[in-house]
Amino acid sequence: MFKRVLIANRGEIAVRVIRACRELGIPTVAIYSEADANSLHVRLATDAFCIGPAPSLNSYLNIPTIVATALTAGCDAIHPGYGFLSERAEFAEICDMHGIKFIGPSAKSMRKMGDKATARKTMIKNNVPVTPGTGIIKSLDELKNFAHEAGYPIILKATAGGGGKGMRVVRNDDELETNMTLCQQEAEKFFGNPNIYAEKFLENPRHIEVQIIGDSYGNVIHLGERDCSIQRRHQKLLEEAPSPAIDEKTRQEMGAAAVRAAKAINYEGVGTCEFLLDHDGKWYFMEMNTRIQVEHCVTEMISQVDIVREQILVASGEKLSHTQDDICLKGHAIECRINAEDPDNDFMPCPGKIDGYLAPGGFGIRVDSHVYAGYTIPPYYDSMIGKLICWGENRKQARRRMYQALKEYVISGIKTTIPFHQQIVEDEVFKSGEFNTGFIEDWYRRQNELKTKEE
């Protein structure tokens, strides 16, 4: 087992990793920027080191400083969490060069799956359905030829992308050149890599993802699927497991495809294969995230597998604790991402001081967060400040618990998405389970129509 683990991240995921390490008896080292000196992960870790000023480039993305801190603190492993350096193959390589275990897949696996264009090729070789698409786009003419062949709309994506960044939908020739340039600029800005590729864009599909875990002995299992269709501008707002749209046959097919893909690249660690489900029930591979995901919690709730703990154990050289036959999914879980944003003002970020905080409780209710009363949310990072997860024996019970928990959840002093989520989980379309990635736009349209009638 590891002697000491550095968490190369912040916020709720840093807290989550620290708690998993504590359970395993592993001392932890937190890193923090000057803006995060009072963050909860700093208080909970065994030791903590300031690694630079607020901007991410000077702190949480500063590889030399992070590695030097790990060596100075006597760490033999680094957990990257999600975001920041979690899918940077060069970071994994540098850790390896210095005798530090990167808690995640190998750099080789990350390059095969972290680069979205390469991941598509890998899936095609392993008989996993993919939407029509391209390799890395070299010229406008190449992109135009694909658009005419596949038919509009198409979507441009950063090959190193994730988190909804570096993505643009194009609906005609007139939009092509501008969006290609903008997408390349966004890819360079967010990921330090300007490469983009294109796919045929499916209008309002379901967004389904399958959780997998692999060890260094060639064993890979899946833990079922999650439905992440409730999203705005490609940013997920609410997730649930299992998906209301998936039957057992499709669940097994998707799970087998995800396992097959992971085995093809000798995948070690936690990962997620993301799929699109169209209106005819056909599904297509979209991308693979080679890291822990924000929404891993709903899968933990229905599988009773501690995914972060398993991730650490596998990285330390142990075999998977479970076989596929051991996995029995029970009940239903829903997660709401609690963001410091104003839903009434186009989800404008709302950093500032929290002057009151009361988390909900009760059977089947879980809160993962790093905030507390008196904590000041800095303006420099992602606006997510917590996750509320509710489990029930079925979807109806999970949804009811979520609504009650949201009513109990108090965060004052700033605007949050809690009132917005209350409306969403009570919406009749959401209750029905018959929704897709266009749900939020449709919900706003219906709200505006209702207001117009009332006026």
* Residue range 168-186: mean pLDDT, rounded: 95
Percent of the chain with pLDDT over 90: 88
Among 209-218, 285-294, 313-322, 420-429, whose mean pLDDT is lowest?
285-294
Helix (H) or strand (E) holding 70: helix 63-72
- CA 398/CA 155 separation, integer angstroms: 34
Residue 6 has a pLDDT of 98
- Active-site residue (options: 168, 291, 366, 401): 291
Dihedral (Cα; 168, 127, 280, 227), 10-degree rounding:
-60
The yes or no reply on domain 132-200 and CATH 3.30.1490.20 is yes
Residue 287 pLDDT: 86
Q: What is the pLDDT of residues 284-316, one digit of tens each?
A: 998 899 999 999 999 999 999 999 999 999 999
Q: Lowest-pLDDT range, 113-127, 191-205, 325-339, 432-446?
A: 113-127
Question: What's the pLDDT score for residue 427?
Answer: 97
Q: Which CATH homologous superfamily contains domain 206-449?
A: ATP-grasp fold, B domain (3.30.470.20)
Confidence of residue 112 (pLDDT cuts 50, 70, 90): confident
- Pairing assessment for the beta strands 206-214 and 269-277 based on DSSP bridges: antiparallel
- pLDDT digits over 227-245, tens only? 999 999 889 999 999 999 9
Q: What does the pLDDT read at residue 20?
A: 98
**Does the pLDDT value for residue 159 go beyond 90?**
no
Query: By C-alpha distance, which of 263, 259, 130 is closest to 199?
Result: 130
Residue 244 tokens, joined: 């209301």
pLDDT at position 234, please? 83
CATH 3.30.465.10 applies to domain 5-103: no
Average pLDDT in the 9-26 region? 98
Res 123: pLDDT:
87
Say if CB 39 and CB 370 are below 8 A apart.
yes
Burial class (CB in 10 A: 0-12, 13-18, 19+), 248: exposed
Q: How many CA atoms lie within 13 A of 306 on its CB side?
A: 14
DSSP conformation letters of 384-414: EEEEEEEEESSHHHHHHHHHHHHHH-EEESS
Of the listed ranges 132-141, 162-171, 251-260, 434-443, the least confidently predicted one is: 162-171
Q: Whole-angstrom Cα distance, residue 355 to residue 122?
A: 50
pLDDT value of residue 117: 76
Is the predicted pLDDT of residue 219 greater than 90, yes or no? yes
Rounded Cα distance between 129 and 250, Å, is 13
User: What is the predicted pLDDT for the residue at 450?
Assistant: 86
Query: How much is the average pLDDT of 76-90?
Result: 96
pLDDT for the residue numbered 273: 94
What one-character DSSP code corresponds to residue 305? -
**For 30-78, how does the pLDDT look when each residue is reduced to its tens digit (9 = 90+)?**
999 999 999 999 999 999 999 999 999 999 999 999 999 999 999 999 9
Neighbours of 302 (CB within 10 A): 22
Which pLDDT band holds residue 163 (cuts at 50, 70, 90)? Answer: low
Burial of 187 (0-12, 13-18, 19+ CB in 10 A): buried
pLDDT of residue 302: 98
Tell whether the model's pLDDT for residue 321 goes beyond 90: yes
The confidence score (pLDDT) of residue 453 equals 83
Q: Do domains 5-103 and 206-449 have the same CATH topology?
A: no
Token pair belonging to 110: 């990350």
pTM above 0.75, yes or no: yes
Among 120-124, 341-345, 384-388, the range scoring the smallest mean pLDDT is 120-124
CA-only gyration radius of the chain, Å: 21
| Mean pLDDT of all residues in 2-14 | 98
Q: Catalytic annotation on 16?
A: no
Domain ranges of the chain: 5-103, 132-200, 206-449
Which pairs from 146-152 meet CB under 8 Å and 24+ separation? Answer: 146/198, 147/173, 147/176, 147/198, 150/200, 151/200, 152/201
Give the per-residue pLDDT at 164: 73
Query: Is pLDDT of 353 > 90?
Result: yes
Question: CB–CB of 84/36 below 8 Å?
Answer: no
Mean pLDDT for the chain?
95
Helix (H) or strand (E) holding 239: strand 235-241
pLDDT given at position 149: 95
> Which stretch, 39-53, 105-119, 129-143, has highest mean pLDDT?
39-53
Tell me, what's the pLDDT at 401? 98
pLDDT at 429: 97
Q: How confident is the model at residue 330 (pLDDT cuts 50, 70, 90)?
A: very high
Give the percent of the chain with pLDDT over 70.
99
Q: What pLDDT sits at residue 230?
A: 97
User: How far is it between the farthest Cα atoms of the chain?
Assistant: 67
